[in-house]
Amino acid sequence: MEKFSTKRRRITAAAAAAFFIRHYPYFIYILFIPFLFSIKFLHLRSPPSPPPMNPCSNRYIYIHNLPSRFNTDLLHNCRSLSQWTDMCLLLSNSGLGPPLPPSSILPCSTCYSTNQFSLELIFHNRINRYPCLTTNSSQATAIFVPFYAGLDISRHLWSGSTAGNISVRDSSLHDLTRWLTSQPEWAVMGGRDHFFVAGRITWDFRRLTDGENEWGSKLLLSPAVLNMTALVIESSPWHTNDMAVPYPTYFHPSTVRDVAAWQERVGRLRRQLLFSFAGAPRPNRTDDIRGRLTEECKGSARCGLLECGSSERRCHSPESVMKLFQSSVFCLQPQGDSYTRRSAFDAMVAGCIPVFFHPGSAYVQYYWHLPRNYSSYSVFIAEKEVREGKVKVEDVLVRFGKERVRAMREEVVRLIPRLVYGDPRGKMESVKDAFDVTVEGVIQRVERRRTRRRHENWSSEGDEEESWQFYLGGKEKHEWDYFFSSASM
């Protein structure tokens, strides 16, 4: 009986095994049904894909709707903006000025006779087409104030009924600050997220006293404006509420193709002159080296000279200036009436390597637009060495080997897009011009201030981080300090 039972169990087990082997796919399927349902359930419960990133995130700009007396009314009265120049003509074409006829020197349909003090209008027309504008100021990272500060003060800088009238010169400043500080946007950061363009050098807005013979206005010394960011064509080494941006030049590309064609052309030009100088001596300045540079240039067969005396009109001719710079390997850029010169930007746009004699002419100025490694695109010769006759400029320049010159020229040509302001009516999506670089710099500056605001009170704000010493090396002292030690600003 026991044997029979064992045998029966064996038969039953064998039959079960055979049945399982024959039908095992169905068993596998049945076992996996709960797992399949769980996957389906998890799929139904998974979060949706994140939306695409907003390209304007942290880049929005709000534009104040200023009363017209601060901007467009100045254009309606353009004949009052200069005693010697027809600014009505030069401010045409969105501030670019009259178009220049294409020629072998300026073979482009995007070249204009642009005045060096027209940046406010050019910038305003560009920012009106900025892709990340907002009408909701609470969404904005930065707030633009379209005040034409340079055009405003230019009416009062020289002889005339208002030149000696301090109250008239500063009237726009007082009206502007009253208007701005009454706006709800001002209260958010006390104006530290506000910026504007003052398209002249900083010294036109830093009058220290109220004497009738003192130059300029007190715009950049106003307590309210001290909180803002002023974009000027030359900044102060001793202050941090202004930032230098490039002078306008004659070239205003409309497309990426315009930029590439210009770079390709100036990059392959054959340059017959080793160096050149366009300028006039400043006999009333004891520290001026222009006289020495002029004499050295006259005595060298490898130098081109464009003398810019009061009766010399060629220096005001875009073709004459650009022809000289396009024929030269190096272009001498001593100080002008102030540290900087528009000529430096005309030279670089022409593909010419600039030679600077004072760090205030470029290296402590255009942080956002020029490389920190200044020797990659320029030559520096201390003006004291030239003034004392210790060096000859030609001797310094002739020592640069062909490979070094080629590398510097390539870097200058590479920088060209960052140094020019594109036509406000054009579109350059894949190239950043001087306007794009400037807006990025403003936004980053405001964001740094906003971050400090979260951790510090404003009285301890780290403005030293915006000084030129910090920019060049993060130190309080620098080897170039002696260049600025005699100033009393």
Distance in angstroms (rounded) separating the CA atoms of residues 483 and 380 = 13
Packing angle of the helix pair 318-326, 342-349 (nearest 10 deg): 60
Distance in angstroms (rounded) separating the CA atoms of residues 147 and 47 = 48
Q: Are residues 218 and 335 in the same domain?
A: no
Q: Are residues 344 and 413 in the same domain?
A: yes
Q: Are residues 77 and 204 in the same domain?
A: yes
Q: Are residues 203 and 296 in the same domain?
A: no
Could you read off the pLDDT of 300-316 as tens digits, one per residue? 999 999 988 765 677 78
pLDDT for residue 33: 47
pLDDT for residue 43: 46
* 300 in Cβ contact with 394 (< 8 Å): yes
pLDDT for residue 232: 98
CATH of the domain at 294: 3.40.50.2000
pLDDT for residue 87: 92
Q: Are residues 108 and 216 in the same domain?
A: yes
Phi, psi of 368 (to 5 degrees): -80, -20
Burial of residue 315 (number of CB atoms within 10 Å: 0-12, 13-18, 19+):
middle
Q: Is 222 inside a domain boundary?
A: yes
Tokens representing 445? Answer: 């500056």
Q: Are residues 194 and 304 in the same domain?
A: no
pLDDT for residue 374: 95
Q: Which residues of the chain have pLDDT under 50?
A: 1-4, 6-8, 11, 19-20, 27-33, 35-44, 460-461, 487-489
Among residues 354, 388, 418, the one where a domain terminates is 418
pLDDT for residue 472: 75
Domain that holds residue 239: 61-248+435-457+468-473
Residue 194: CA atoms inside 13 Å, Cβ hemisphere, count?
A: 23
Q: Which of 95, 58, 45, 55 is nearest to 75 (CA)?
A: 95
Q: Is 7 inside a domain boundary?
A: no
Q: Are residues 107 and 223 in the same domain?
A: yes
Q: Is 42 inside a domain boundary?
A: no
Q: Are residues 397 and 344 in the same domain?
A: yes
C-alpha to C-alpha distances, 378 to 266, 331, 385, 396, 434, nearest whole angstrom: 17, 10, 17, 13, 19
Q: Are residues 278 and 367 in the same domain?
A: yes
Number of domain units in the chain: 2
Q: Are residues 214 and 129 in the same domain?
A: yes
